[in-house]
Structure 1
């Protein structure tokens, strides 16, 4: 019986420790929807939040991909250059 009660006690501790995190994530989701952020802004926001772990590999890869695409768009939008001078990798 004591094993059962200690198991319930451990389960309630795990749930109570996880609830603030879930509420925080829900608040961040609502904030993102209200502010109408782009997908790239959402990825950067998730990667730079206050969680004790750092950004994941896929998040860092997506941020690097968005950065590269931004540089390519700058070349395309440059009025002084001709399109023949722009080479994509």
Structure 2
């Protein structure tokens, strides 16, 4: 019998009746300590050319971006995936980002201190030069 996070994720996908697109986004934005694979992000970007899949993908990304606390990797990986989709997916991804800009802007205040005392939500963007 399989146990652990992958098993729980599989069961939740089944119980919640997630679509193939939603399952792929959940996998790409999991709490696993490694980033989403480029092959998985490519599969998701290809799905953005389908109107129904695009909506499912973007809704799941917005949902994962709103996670907090110990699920900080959901947020981080959602931003990683979104960056990839903007560059490689349908142009409609950009339209969805414009419409959902509030979801991204709220992350300016995101923070999470892990068990080791490291701030996993600290923004490391360079400050603009005046």
Q: Which residue of 2 aligns with 1:28?
A: 9
How many residues matched?
51
Aligned-partner SS, 2:7: helix
Q: How far apart are 1:69 and its partner, in Å?
A: 2.2
Query: Structure 1-normalised TM-score?
Result: 0.51
1:49 counterpart = 2:23: no
Q: Which has the higher contact order (CA 8 A, sep 6+)?
A: 2
Counterparts of 2:34 and 2:40, CA distance in 1? 13
What pairs up with 1:4-23 in 2 under 5 angstroms?
A: 22-23=3-4
4+ residue segments displaced more than 6 Å: none
Q: Which residue of 2 aligns with 1:37?
A: 18
Normalized per residue, which structure has more helix? Answer: 1
Question: How large is the Cα RMSD of the aligned pairs?
Answer: 2.0
1:59 counterpart = 2:40: yes
